[in-house]
Amino acid sequence: MFSRRNFLKQLGALTAASAALPVLAETAAKKSFFEISLAEWSLHKALFAKQFTNLDFPGLAKKEFGIEIVEYVNQFFKDKAQDATYLKELMMRCKDNGVRNHLIMIDGEGYLGETDAAKRNEAVEKHKPWVECAKTLGCKTIRVNAFGKGTEEEVAKAAVEGLGKLGEFAKTMNINVIVENHGSYSSNGQWLTGVMKQVNMKNVGILPDFGNFCIKRSSGSEWGGQCVEEYDRYKGVSEMMAYAKGVSAKTHDFDANGNCTDIDYMRMMKIVKDSGFKGIAGIEYEGTTLSEFDGIKKTKALLERVGTMI
């Protein structure tokens, strides 16, 4: 027999559960607007120290960090772009771990903004095997550099030509060619978007890096030396998002609440979201206070938290 007291107790429980349903539904529906990948450069110290190899990277990303999308750096398999046996083994590692390949960051193959035509064309040719490698690995994209020596106008003109040539080749394989703001003119949002407007190709775009906005260093080089002139990072990312085919979530240090100390991630990711972006954010930890493993985990936690808050 149901007593009146039991009836009222169960009625109260049902009422409370019903009231909680909208809150639970809202929480469940709040999903991040982007996917998270791991950029191999986050582990460059361990890789250079030979603690593990490029072949180990996909399994490490999945098992250690719970990340199922990866971004390679060609420096860690420099002589393997056309090594079918090696690439087959790498693909097997990815398959075994349920990992998806996203892009390859290309360095050391020349600059596509070289004002010397011979050097620029040589750079284009050296990048072609990496386009083919990306196709073999199932990557969507390669990341390149658009550096060059000369005035802003001269380097821009050269970059338009170099990127256009490589873009035409990559288009035949459905591969994107994207430029990272990596220093010098390329870290100037107006300059880089101006180049993109002139290239005007769907498969040529930008990889906005949240941390690379130094446009002039004391050494006069793209890297190294103290930064003496910096472009506004929030303005730069806002400008670049129209051409973005991914974003590079750079971090260095974190405060006690797990927030990045030099980049306002709530502000930055709102810029990314407001642009209509629904792609992949690649973790690129470059700090020195935490270990590479801890820095990656902190960055992932920050992205997951911010992604569901905005």
Task: Report DSSP state, residue 48.
Answer: H
| Spatial CA neighbour of 94 closest among 54, 132, 129 | 54
- Is 279:244 a contact under the CB 8 Å cutoff? yes
pLDDT tens digit sequence for 196-207 = 999 999 999 999
| Spatial CA neighbour of 161 closest among 128, 204, 131 | 204
Cα separation, 273 vs 33, in Å, equals 7
Q: What share of the chain is helix, strand, coil (3-state, %, to 5)?
A: 50, 15, 30
pLDDT at 168: 98
pLDDT tens digit sequence for 65-117 = 999 999 999 999 999 999 999 999 999 999 999 999 999 999 999 999 999 99
Sign for the pseudo-dihedral over CA of 175, 181, 185, 191: positive
Give the lowest-confidence range in 25-34, 138-147, 152-161, 167-176.
Answer: 25-34
3-state secondary structure 277-306: CCCEEEEEECCCCCCHHHHHHHHHHHHHHH
pLDDT tens digit sequence for 189-233 = 999 999 999 999 999 999 999 999 999 988 777 767 788 899 999
pLDDT tens digit sequence for 278-308 = 999 999 999 999 999 999 999 999 999 999 9
- Is 123:114 a contact under the CB 8 Å cutoff? yes
Please check the confidence at residue 27 and state whether its pLDDT lies above 90. Answer: no
